[in-house]
Amino acid sequence: MIRRATPEDVPALVGLVYDLAEYEKARHECALTDEQLHASLFGPDPKVFAHVAQRDSGGEVLGCAIWFLNYSTWTGTHGIYLEDLYVKPEARGLGLGKALITQLAREAVANGYRRVDWSVLDWNTPSIEFYDALGANPQDEWTGYRLTGEALTRLAAR
């Protein structure tokens, strides 16, 4: 069962984000709190959205897709940027990851969005194979950049 996240799902979502950070060997970088995610998802003007996967209604949250809107000047339309897609190891193989990303595709098509984008670590072979099987195309001609920490502060102070 795939559904939009509710405020009651926030602790489970935060737990899944930490599980994903652990899997990606970056647990030390994760600082998300329940309060932050709740405000982002359910505050007065939400900019972040989430779907959860359960085996059945009322069951344990086994996976999630956390996303936000992006925009393409080339197409003149919004798209979805999938920040996190994660399914607990014990629930993999049940089709939950595919169901979550399928729901995002439906969301995009229903709203006239032209694409769904995400990033994957280059060593994450199982995920790359999963995305390839969906028909997704790697965007290897683009190099991602990130400005954070001291470099961000220094630039902002100019």
Express each pLDDT in 14-68 by its tens digit: 999 999 999 999 999 999 999 999 999 999 999 999 999 998 878 899 999 999 9
Q: Which of 81, 113, 131, 145 is catalytic?
A: 131
Known catalytic residue at 86: no
Task: State pTM to two decimals.
Answer: 0.93
pLDDT in tens, 57-66: 788 999 999 9
pLDDT on residue 144: 87
In angstroms, the CA 105 to CA 110 distance is 9
pLDDT of 9 > 90? The answer is yes
Contact 63, 88 (CB under 8 A): yes
Strand ranges, E, within the chain = 2-4, 49-54, 61-72, 77-87, 116-117
In the DSSP assignment, the letter for residue 135 is T
pLDDT in tens, 145-156: 999 999 999 999
